[in-house]
Amino acid sequence: MMGQNLAEIFKLTALSFILAILWTPVLTHYLYKHKLVKQIRQQTWDGQPAKIFREMHGKKCGTPTMGGLLIWLTAAGVTLFFNLSREQTWLPLFTLVSAGILGMIDDMLNIRGFVKGLSAKLKFLFQFLIAGLGAWWFYYKLEFSEIGIPGGANIGLPETLDIGWLYIPLFILTVVFLTNAVNITDGLDGLAGGTLAASFAAVMGIALVQGQVGIAAFAGTIVGALLAFLWFNIYPARFFMGDTGAFALGATLAVLAFLTNTVLLLPIIGFIFVVEAFSTLLQWFSKRYLSRKFLKIAPLHHHFEALGWPETKVTMRFWVISAVMATIGMVIAFL
């Protein structure tokens, strides 16, 4: 049975990859024809000129964004067409599409001249609304209130811990955090796509071993679409993922972690995203309260660029770290 399920998942993963490859020229033509180009940021978070950033990435001006449409539209189409287990896939599918639409709106505002897109307050408001709806459904409809303790049985701890109503704020904060963490990571050609592929592949493996074939297949369709996206997004990128991809995939990864009861493994499976997000928070804290920079430029991948590392070197080393950590996360989940 495991072999049959694995074969079916790989078929859907391959199908997602092929379909995404086939319709990429259509999407690329549309993005370039309508000049859906992201505005290069002119200021840092504190209003200072983003001189270092412009020097490193000014040449990318003119590359279209919203390439994330390729990923979530393909994954959603394959899921709906093949009627994967609705009980297991409707929740992550809703998250994928709703967060993707929110990101698309933000991208469109940026393209039309609003460099910052949606205001931070509005972005967080809508992210909290999406996450809050998911938390309500998990807690009140599905009656989820337990979180898994990785390897707990091997160290004298319970396998799960019932946290009661605290499940709701944990769910909301995790979804919002990971949504923005992936968005922060999406700053170099191929970086977010490669690290996301490793994370979703890990979730796919965990769900398969748990017997949640629908979730594993859903994660597989995302992996397939991500690999197709990477074909065109690796340096030099034909298009960028944009917020429409980063929002959709970050939120969905968080929801899948709750469905597989591996939320405590997210800092390992999504290691790069966590590090990137905290590097930005540390930079903000250091500049605000210590009046000095923690990094040359945040997030961490831009810091390495500022040190003289080629963009491809940063990306590939982050890929390696992400793959290793995702594998470690899977191993711990199987203990």
Question: Cβ atoms within 10 A of the Cβ of 94, count?
Answer: 17
Strand partners, 54: none
189 labelled ligand-binding? no
243 labelled ligand-binding? yes
Q: Compute the distance between CA of residue 190 and CA of residue 56 in angstroms, rounded to an integer.
A: 16
Q: Compute the distance between CA of residue 298 and CA of residue 113 in angstroms, rounded to an integer.
A: 24
How would you class 47 by CB atoms within 10 Å of its CB: exposed for 0-12, middle for 13-18, buried for 19 or more? exposed
Question: Using H for helix, E for strand and C for coil, what is the string for the chain?
Answer: CHHHHHHHHHHHHHHHHHHHHHHHHHHHHHHHHCCCECCCCCECCCCCECHHHHHHHHHHCCCECCCHHHHHHHHHHHHHHCCCCHHHHHHHHHHHHHHHHHHHHHHHHHHCCCCCCCCHHHHHHHHHHHHHHHHHHHHHHCCCCEEECCCHHHHCCCCEEECHHHHHHHHHHHHHHHHHHHHHHCCCCCHHHHHHHHHHHHHHHHHHHHCCHHHHHHHHHHHHHHHHHHHHHCCCCCCCCHHHHHHHHHHHHHHHHHHCCCHHHHHHHCHHHHHHHHHHHHHHHHHHHCCCCCCCCCCHHHHHHHCCCCHHHHHHHHHHHHHHHHHHHHHHHHC
Q: Compute the distance between CA of residue 218 and CA of residue 20 in angstroms, rounded to an integer.
A: 15
Could you tell me which residues are annotated as the binding site for Mg(2+)?
A: 183, 243
Could you tell me which residues are annotated as the binding site?
A: 183, 243
